[in-house]
Structure 1
Amino acid sequence: MFFYIFLIVVASQRLIEVLIAKRNEKWMKSKGAKEYGKRHYRLMVAIHFLFFVSLIMESILGRSDLNSDWPLLVAVFFIVQLCRVWVIMALGRFWNTKIIVLKDAEVVAKGPYKFIKHPNYLIVTIELIIIPLIFNAYWTLFIFAILNQLILAIRIPLEEEVLNKQTNYEDELTSKRRFIPLIRKSR
């Protein structure tokens, strides 16, 4: 029963995020923003959808019980969700699931962005580890942890390239110290 309640909560959260993203996308595009990475975005959506299909199949067919450490894992999951809200609030109208960039916009460097470059991707990565662990879905954990890193290896460089060209991203990054070190390119 917990499995289904948990899935409903996560699915509801994702639906709310899609609605926020659509609203923000409409606003940004009305201001002249452009979207990048449409091809890989479809793949990313497919990976996230298949993650839940895999989780359901592995949990139902494998009849896995909850992990013995499930209370701790659920607590970590909820802390990560608070961090997700922090990210969305920090970016405000600029938060989106797509790469949509408004030329010459000031890069957001508040909230979690004061500390790391891509907190939203870190949050998703942690979720793709924690959720399968809660339900002992180790195949889902293994497969989608790898797929997530592969899609991020495409997405993050593209996002940073576009931000560097269209905004003050590089200036913002080099002017602030962060917890996660920045490897600077020599010019």
Structure 2
Amino acid sequence: MTAPDPLGFAVLAFVTLERGAELALARRNTARLIRAGAVEHAAGHYPLIVVLHAAWLAGLWLLAWGTGPDLAWLVLFGLLQLLRAWTLATLGPRWTTRIIVSPGAPLVRRGPYRLLRHPNYAVVAGEILVLPLAFGLPLYAFAFSLANAAILLAVRVPAEERALAAARPGKVEP
């Protein structure tokens, strides 16, 4: 087995640790929201999202091992991380990886939500594309981007839109 590229290893370790920390935060937020009366919607597709993201990350560890990332793509990935942090900070305790809706709570329209309806999904789509490209894996980037888009466009976003519309007709946070 070839030795890992130090920067490549650091990037993959960062993403792995980041995802683990986000899952822990999401679990904590989900439990708190449910205790406060929030409701989960369209839970059936969630395992598919988990499998897709786990396969994407595991495949990167396997295919990018020993490869140094392209710095231009890595800078773009870093910018996506800033947008990710902004999105999570904007939602605060309302952020989760599931579709959890608090009935009557207004929609968030500040931070990146002023610019995009679903900024977290845009970030994830960008990451799924950009990180494999940083490691010279264009077919991998394309395949996982296509799979992610199919899940997001066909299942996740429509389910979330229905849940949000049903829970707070006409209410928008300033």
When the two chains are superposed, the root-mean-square deviation of aligned CA atoms in Å is: 1.8
Pairing of 1:5-154 with structure 2 (within 5 A): 5-60=10-65, 65-66=67-68, 70-153=70-153, 154=155
Spell out, residue by residue over 1:119-159, the C-alpha distance to the aligned partner (whole angstroms, 9 max, x if none).
00000011011100110112211210100001102100000
Task: Give the superposition deviation at 1:171.
Answer: 5.2
Q: How big is each residue's C-alpha offset from its partner over 1:10-46, in whole Å with a ceiling of 9 and x where there is no partner?
A: 0111111111111111111111111112111100110
Segments ≥4 residues shifted beyond 4 Å: none
How many residues of Structure 1 are paired with residues of Structure 2 in the alignment?
168
CA distance in 2, matches of 1:138, 1:100: 34
Q: What is the deviation of 1:111? A: 0.3
Gaps of 5+ in 1: 177-187
Question: Which deviates further from its counterpart, 35-44 or 117-126?
Answer: 35-44
Equivalent residues of 1:84, 1:120 under 8 A apart: yes
Q: CA separation of 1:171/1:105 partners in 2, compared to 1, >3 Å: closer, same or farther?
A: closer
> What secondary structure does 1:49 align onto?
helix
Q: Tell me how far apart the structure 1 counterparts of residues 101 and 171 of structure 2 sit (CA, whole Å).
A: 16
Partner of residue 158, structure 1: 159
Q: Which runs of 5+ in 2 are unaligned?
A: none
Give the secondary structure class of the aligned counterpart of 2:40: strand
TM-score (norm 2): 0.90
The one-letter code sitting in structure 2 at the alignment partner of 1:99 is: I
Answer whether contact 2:106 2:171 (CA < 8 A) is retained. Answer: no
- How far apart in 2 are the matches of 1:126 and 1:172? 27
Give the CA deviation at 1:80: 0.8
Identity of aligned residues (%): 31
